[in-house]
Structure 1
C-alpha cells in the first residue's frame, strides 16, 4: 500500500472508522493491535499490508477493516495503545501526598523507558523516513501519542500549580518542555545508535527534572527544591 498523498502541514488524515454492526470481538481486536504493532515495527508503515496484519493476527482482512476502518486508523490505534500501556492515565494522577520531585522522576523514568524501547525507536525512525515525511502519518502519530501524553501531564502540572508548588504561566508549554528535556541528547544518541560516551540514564533524568524544577518550582529562586 502506498503512502497517502501529502496534505497541508499539521493536517491529519481523515480516518475511516470501523463500520457499525455486530459488537466487535474484543479478543480479535486486541490480537490485531498486537500484530499491527509488531508488523509496523519490523517493516515500517508503507511495507506493512493489511493482509500481513490479518495473517499475523490469525483473522481475516475483512475482520481487520471491520475493527479499524483503514491502515491509517489502525496505525493511530497501535500508537495510542502502546502509549497507554506504557504511560497509563493513572501515572499522571496528581498524587498530592507524593513529593513533587519524586512524582516527576517517576513519570520521567516511565516516559524514557517507553521512548527508548525498540518499538518506539523503530517508530521514531519510521516517522523520519522520506516516504513518511509530508504524508498524514506524522500528524496521526502526534495526535495518538505525544499530544495525549502532554495533555494528561499538563493537567497534573495545573493541579500542582493550584496547590502552590509550581509557578507556571503557560502550563501546556511547560509540559512540552518537560518531555523535550527528558529525551534530550540521550534519546538522540539512542536513535542514531551512538551510545559510546553517553551519560547514565539515571543521571540524565535527574538532571532534567532538577532543571525543570529550577525553572518552575514556586521557590526556585531561593534554591529550595519542591
Structure 2
C-alpha cells in the first residue's frame, strides 16, 4: 500500500466456523449454496416463515448438511448477513481508501456503504431484524457483530491512519467511524426502510454523500 500500513481490523470469526466441530472439512460449494438459498428465502418469506427443511431443499442438500455447517437458523441468518457485508465491503475497499487522499478515501467508503445498505436484500434484512420474533432472540447481536460492527471497525482503521498522519483530530475513533456511517445513511435510507419514499435518484445520493464527507471533515479535520 505504498508506505501506508494496511488496516489491522480483526475479522469476526465466521459464524459457521464457531458451530463446526471436529470431523471432515466442510464442502465450500454446499456452504455457498446454503447461504444463497437462505438469503433468497429469508428475503421472500421473512425469518419466521422459513424452515431449515425449506432451505435444505432449495440448496439441494440434506437438512443434516445445513445443521452441520451452521448449527441453527439464527446462526445461518447471521452468516448470511456476514457474507453480504464481506461481499459488498471487502477488505480491498478499505485498503484502497486507506491509500487514497483523505477526502477521496472517505467518498469511496461512503459510496460503497450506501450502495450496500440500499440493496434490496439489505433493506429486506433490515426489516426482518426489526420484527418481534427476531428482536426477542439473540440473533440481532450476532448479526450486528458480523455486519455493522465489522464496517465500523474497518472504517475506524482507515481513520486511525489519518489521525497518525495528522490529517484528522479524533479522540474516540470508533465513535467517529460510527458517526460517519450514520451521516452517510442519512434520511434517504430511513425513508426507504419505512416505505414512505422511493429509491433516491443518483443526484440525491451524490449530494448526501458529499455533504456527509464535508460535515465529517469540518468536525474532525485537523486545524491548520
TM-score calculated relative to the size of structure 2? 0.86
Which residue number in structure 1 is paired with residue 208 of structure 2? 204
2:218 to 190, 214, 218: 214
Shift of 1:136: 1.1
Q: 1:197 to 1:20 in 2, by over 3 A?
A: closer
Which residue number in structure 2 is paired with residue 4 of structure 1? none
Structure number with higher helix proportion: 2
How many residue pairs match? The answer is: 206
Shift of 1:130: 2.0
1:58 to 42, 57, 60: 60
Preserved contact between residue 36 and residue 74 of structure 1 (Cα < 8 Å): yes
* Distance of 2:129 and 2:222 partners within structure 1: 37
Preserved contact between residue 98 and residue 158 of structure 2 (Cα < 8 Å): no
Gaps of 5+ in 2: 1-16
Q: 1:16 to 1:49 in 2, by over 3 A?
A: farther
Which residue number in structure 2 is paired with residue 43 of structure 1? 45
2:75 to 73, 76, 80: 73
Gaps of 5+ in 1: 1-14
* Distance of 1:16 and 1:164 partners within structure 2: 39
Shift of 1:41: 1.2
* Distance of 2:150 and 2:117 partners within structure 1: 14
Q: CA RMSD in A?
A: 1.9
Shift of 1:45: 1.3
Which residue number in structure 1 is paired with residue 30 of structure 2? 28
* Distance of 1:19 and 1:97 partners within structure 2: 39
Q: Report 1:58-137 matches (<5 A).
A: 58-93=60-95, 95=97, 97-137=99-139
SS of equivalent to 1:48:
coil
* Distance of 1:28 and 1:217 partners within structure 2: 47
Which residue number in structure 1 is paired with residue 156 of structure 2? 154
Preserved contact between residue 94 and residue 160 of structure 1 (Cα < 8 Å): no
